[in-house]
Chains A and B, each alone.
Chain A
Amino acid sequence: MSRPVAAAEWLRPARRRAVADHVAIWSPLALVLGALGWALEGFALALGLFALAALALAWSAKSVAARLDRTWLVRSLNAREAGLEDSAALVFAADALTPFQQMQADRIAARLATLDPERLADSWSQRRIALAWALGAAALAAIAWWQTQQSAPPPLAPTAEATATPPAAPRLVGQRVRIVPPAYTGLAPSFSDSLDIRAPAGSRIEWTFGFDPAPASAALQLVGGQRIPLSQGDDGWSGALRLDVPALYRVTAAGMEGELPAHRLEPIPDEPPQVRVVEPASGLVTMTPGQRSWRIVFEASDDYAVDPLARLTLTTAIGQGENVRFAERSQTVRGTGDPRRRRFVIDLPLAAFGLEPGSDLVAQLTIADTRSPSPQMVRGPGLILRYPAPQPPQAEGLDLMAKQQMPAYFRSQRQVIIDTEALIRQRGSLSADEFMVRSDTIGVDQRLLRLRYGQFVGMEAEEAPRPPLPTADKDEPAEPEHYDGDGHDHGAAPESPIFGSLGDVTAEYGHVHDESEAATLLDPDTRELLKKALDAMWQAEVSLRTGKPEAALPFENTALDYIKQVQQASRIYLPRIGSQQPPIDMTRRLTGKRAGIVGKGAQLTPFAIDDAVPATAWRALAQPGAIDLAGLDQWVRANTGRIRDPLSVLAAIDRLRAAPQSRALREKLRGALWTVLTRPPTTVHRRPDGGTLGRRYTEGLR
């Protein structure tokens, strides 16, 4: 037997009522949200908010309805109708019933049929609905009231201008100035009390004026600039302007006479944002061993708002010495906090950069403000994370001598050849002994050079080389304060630096023995060349030390040849950048003539003070006479960027134009020009000679 009733039918009225009740309670909220959106932004936001609220309401209503399921139905039926004998569940049971249960179910179903499903629905929650609608109505009223307060322009303020006008001429009797800053500033429109306006650059200025009696036409006249006609509306004459450059303006109307006062229009420029490093404390940070990430914190501030998105430029310099590879990558970071003062916290995982000892990681943040169009970009300070280079191994004992990084002075092979040639030329003028001594000296130089190059092929020095020449510019160390064994040892003082220890790679990083194959750092071909050079040097040395420079010369030249080949074999070529040298004049090269080598001498361009116009005017204003006010006006307009307060100068010019002979106004303009004058480089004030008396006095001085 099929049961005559389905649960859904029983539930439908209750569900309908519950949903209606829920919607009735919460719909005022959606309305209020929509109204708020309308008040704040306009129709779009109102619609959006309302739709959002309606969706949320629908969803919550659906969930309310879903709560009323079969379990609820059974429970409420059992609770309400005692006649059902707590067996309503059997009627709506989904599964097959036992015969006994079936019998009971039929019984109950018959009783159920007499019942009205409508009775299951909850009654309206009237009090909650009333409260909700009352609150909603109050909120809507408040919004409406606020909105009317907000949008209604204040009445025209009486003007403070007191100009003597003939009775029939129109007079300015009311004024209202509304300043609408650009949207990106986030500033609310405001009303200005005075006609002197200072507002963010890019603001829209809306004027409304009342005249009495009503004129035929009215306009705003920018001093030295355009004319903005005013249009007559309901509450007066109105006009608008976008404020970009500082200017002076006058309110004029047809029929107005006399000198009208000028008012200021002064834009406040948008300052570029500022970046400050909060963490780390110093610009150069050394990486600690085992450091995995690097935390950097910037703080950016701006007068209106900082763009939350900033670009972080990361430059890596990996490698040491000449073998440094640079790589640059950038990523976008997001700032948090107050728009005017945003914090950019960046945790850089270091593993991705592949830093090696001795390499650097440079981080730099580029931020922008929200100015539109063309946001102002500012690049912050660079922060460097340095992976410290490994300390050179501690030297002990004799190696200590090789640690000295001192420039070694020794003669080059070329110098040896030049010396030898000079000695050969001077042979006639030298005594035999002297010649011998000088030849021997050159031989010593040649030997030192041979030892120097010999180190590269693993030649063990035959003896401890002693520097015959001063090996450093450093002065002799001062007499030590301590004597040996006074219990205050700094360890053995390093010996005078060994000749040729600069860049002595083998001595620094290894220990060489006379087993040349094991010690050499050069490839076999180069080593071969070097060995040939050393052989030639050896020959030259022998000849020099025995007083036969002529015999040594060919060997020296051969050695030089080989050394050049060796050097070229291992040379790194780098492109030359930077200065462009003038071509060499081959005709005068090595002639020794100096005539004309200084071109036209060092020519300097004198410091040009580009304030000749105001300086002339400043001087001219000291005396009565005509002033070129138009030229001055033009100059000030062209140089507004340099001048702190160009409007005050323009105002002074404008006032003087009306009364060119007024002494007070001339003084005023002269004072205003002082701020415009460039300070010239300090000149010299010559002293007076004191006249005849003074000259006689100084002549009498001994």
Chain B
Amino acid sequence: MPDAQTLAALLIGAGALAAAVRLLLLRRGWAGGALAALSLASGALLWLTLFPPLLPVGGETLVVATAESPPGTRAAPGERLVALLEAPALAGAERVPDLATALRRHGQVQRLRIVGRGLPARDRDADAGLPTRFDPLPLPRGLVRLDPPADTPAGGVFALGGAAQGLEGGTAELLDPAGRVVDSRVIGADGAFTLGAAARAPGLATFTLRLRATDKALVSDTPVPLRTLAAPEPLRVALIGAPSPEAKYLRRWAEDAGFDLGSRLNAGAGVDLGGGGGVRLDAASLRKTDVVIIDDTALAGLGGGGRAALAQAVAGGLGVVVRMTGPASAASRGQWRSLGLAVEGGTEAAPIALPPLAADADALAALRGPGSGDAPAGLNTLEDPVPELGRWAVSAGSQLVPAVTDAEGALVAGWQQRGQGRVLLWTMPESFALVLSGQSDRYAQWWSRALSAVARPDRQFRPTLAPLVQTGERMAICGLAEGARITAPDGAETALAIDPAAGAAGCAAFWPKVAGVYTILQPGDEAEARFDFLVLVEGALQTIRAAETGAATALWAARQDAPSARTPPERRGPAWPWLLGWLALTAALWWGERRLRNAAA
């Protein structure tokens, strides 16, 4: 079906053509020709009256003043100045509540120019469809990026990253909740830094990131929340292998970390030194297990049936750690492949480069915390020699995800997904040497990373939200179900309304008003799940937000400029000149035709 424009053109053209032919048949000669031409022209004018041609409109540039616009901002000739809410008072600027309102009010503008820090998030949601120019202001001095630590298991080491602008040669310090410096880095030329510390008991703790200039003057203190999750139920681990120091220290760690550990340590001739009820590898038992740690010889000794049961359990969500005790053979690689672990190599040994335990002795002491009777504080110092450790160098494709790497990035342990579960290959045959040389915290950290990567996933309530929130900003909380509530630090409780448009993600919006620790309460099948998050004081993230706004506005502006997005302004000219022309022409035609008929008569 042709559109209205084409249809009208066809109909009018056909009518005008018929009239012209009729006039030509009526009277040959110049007069008939002229009238025929006039009727054609009248048809054309009629079409133009209905569909006036597109005219070049406006030609104006809209200057949008945003936060931190320079005071002297003026509209140049051919420009119109509007000021968003965040902008300072500017002479001659029209206040608009947002960009969309400005565009609606000034429909004739053809270009946008944004001055100041950039458009806030609410104005970047929709495209303006106009070519936009935006020259970002130089980044503010201070903290311009902060990647807070991810949720950390109790006792684990966490890291946070950030970047500072204009503080080269200064220091970035991480302060623990008691205000002691636990890590410190000199800020380099690119401004980026990484800091780390260790988590303690489960809960939400507030660290502080302190930036100092070259002359040690305080630049900023930014709170950094650290969430340490408590395990609702102990991890169920099955340890299968030969009695060995590795098994001994794994058992030690598993006991200390509070796992529900079953072990099968086969000493030969059917003697199991594991104690307890032993470990069974049938489908029903494996469903009740979260991780199986098995050494390569024990895996080979399972037989095809046992490995098939294991592989099936992996597809159902079980995590399996295959611990290499010797070089891999073609047969063993085949067995691993049947579990879903496709690796090559593994016959050559390579040394492991251990990163230093901490930057200096003080940082190490802060990392380890106060000792206890079981773990004395002065366990291992920085000066002690690091143990010489080796790994079997395996090569794998991109499917193998590294879980533990050494200081040079070489793979120590890597996992691969199979169905709902994961299989991890631990290539370090003598990791217990870490414990023997006093680095048991590193041993626990590496094994924790490995098991965290593969352990059977849980269904703990864990909503997703932005890691850094400050008051006065809208935030989205996802992963909620009906009945979720939120408790503010002042005790006020708010029910969260889930946005039906978000679908399965289960998202709700929330505007925190006061700073402090908020708790999301989600009623569940058995008990109410809780989730704490920290809301910072407004302005705590000022420089970060400024840098983010600038970068996002530059991206947004680039998207407006992209040719694919540029839509021509569809503005038709006024129809009345064409109507007058058509009327005059039609009147002349009527008069001419009448004279023609009279002359003919």
Contacts and interface: CB of A to CB of B under 8 A. Distances in A.
Contacts of B458: 686-689
B445 interface: yes
Interface string B269-311: 1111111100000000000001000000000000000000000
B179, B290, B462 — which one has the most chain A CB atoms within 10 A of its CB?
A: B179
Interface residues of A, number: 53
Nearest to B422: A687
Nearest to A685: B153
Nearest to B268: A594
Interface stretch (B9-17, B248-256, B536-544): B248-256
A679 B420 contact: no
B257 A684 contact: yes
A671 interface: yes
A687 B255 CA distance: 21
Contacts of B374: 607-608
B62 to A, nearest CB: 42
A610 B272 CA distance: 33
Contacts of A683: 153-156, 231, 235, 257-258, 448
A677 B203 CA distance: 12
A679 B152 CA distance: 13
Contacts of B168: none
Contacts of B229: 685
Interface string B376-388: 0100000000000
A615 B372 CA distance: 14
Contacts of B203: 618-619, 622
Interface stretch (B133-141, B363-371, B521-529, B569-577): B363-371
B251 A674 contact: no
B419 A699 contact: yes
A376 interface: no
Contacts of B179: 671
B271 A699 contact: no
A269 to B, nearest CB: 15
Contacts of A648: 178
A699 B456 CA distance: 14
B457 A692 contact: no
Given A683-B231, A693-B504, A678 B369 contact: yes
Contacts of B155: 679-683
B273 A598 contact: yes
B273 A601 contact: yes
Interface in A579-624: 594, 597-598, 600-611, 615, 618-619, 622, 624
B256 to A, nearest CB: 4
A675 interface: yes
A686 B275 contact: no
Given A601-B275, A604-B255, A681-B155, A687 B270 contact: no
Contact of A604 (B251, B375, B479, B517): B251
Nearest to A672: B178
Interface string B400-415: 0000000000000000
A643 B153 CA distance: 23
B103 interface: no
B180 interface: yes
Nearest to A602: B275
A597 B271 contact: yes
B448 A684 contact: yes
A686 B257 contact: no
Contact of B201 (A605, A619, A695, A701): A619
B176 A674 contact: yes
B204 interface: yes
B201, B258, B375 — which one has the most chain A CB atoms within 10 A of its CB?
A: B201
A15 interface: no
B37 interface: no
B161 interface: no
Interface string B178-193: 1110000000000000
Contacts of B367: 679
Given A610-B372, A686-B452, A695-B420, A598 B271 contact: yes
B23 interface: no
Given A684-B451, A691-B479, A609 B372 contact: yes
A291 interface: no
B532 interface: yes
Contacts of A675: 176, 178, 180, 369-370
Contacts of A676: 370
A686 B290 CA distance: 9
B180, B231, B276, B369 — which one has the most chain A CB atoms within 10 A of its CB?
A: B369
A488 interface: no
A10 B599 CA distance: 191
Contacts of A618: 201, 203
Nearest to B315: A699
Contacts of A643: 370
B384 to A, nearest CB: 16
A686 B455 contact: yes
Contacts of B489: 663
B267 to A, nearest CB: 8
A698 interface: yes
A679 B368 contact: yes
A681 B274 contact: no
A682 B445 contact: yes
A644 interface: yes
Nearest to A652: B178
Contact of A606 (B255, B272, B444): B255
Contacts of B153: 682-685
Interface in B221-275: 229, 231, 235, 248, 251-253, 255-259, 267, 269-275
B417 interface: yes
Given A603-B275, A606-B255, A648-B178, A677 B201 contact: yes
A290 interface: no
A679 B198 contact: yes
B231 A686 contact: yes
B568 interface: no
Contacts of A598: 267, 271-273, 275
Interface string A627-670: 00000000000000011100010000000000000010000001
A263 to B, nearest CB: 20
Interface string B477-504: 0010000000001010000000000001
A597 B269 CA distance: 12
B579 interface: no
Contacts of A684: 153, 231, 235, 257, 259, 448, 451-452, 455
Nearest to B457: A689
A373 interface: no
B372 A611 contact: yes
B199, B203, B418, B460 — which one has the most chain A CB atoms within 10 A of its CB?
A: B203
Closest 8 CB pairs of A and B: A601-B275, A689-B457, A607-B256, A671-B177, A685-B153, A682-B448, A682-B444, A674-B177
26 contacts: A594-B271, A598-B273, A601-B274, A601-B276, A610-B372, A615-B201, A622-B204, A670-B177, A671-B178, A675-B369, A678-B200, A679-B155, A679-B367, A680-B257, A681-B253, A682-B156, A683-B153, A683-B155, A683-B448, A684-B257, A685-B452, A686-B455, A688-B459, A688-B460, A689-B457, A701-B417
Interface of B: 151-157, 176-180, 198-206, 229, 231, 235, 248, 251-253, 255-259, 267, 269-276, 290, 317, 367-375, 377, 417-420, 440-441, 444-445, 447-448, 451-453, 455-460, 462, 479, 489, 491, 504, 516-517, 532
Interface of A: 594, 597-598, 600-611, 615, 618-619, 622, 624, 642-644, 648, 663, 670-693, 695, 698-699, 701
Given A619-B203, A644-B370, A682-B157, 20 more contacts: A594-B269, A601-B273, A602-B274, A604-B251, A605-B255, A610-B372, A619-B201, A624-B491, A671-B177, A673-B178, A674-B178, A675-B370, A680-B201, A681-B444, A682-B156, A683-B235, A683-B257, A684-B235, A686-B452, A687-B453
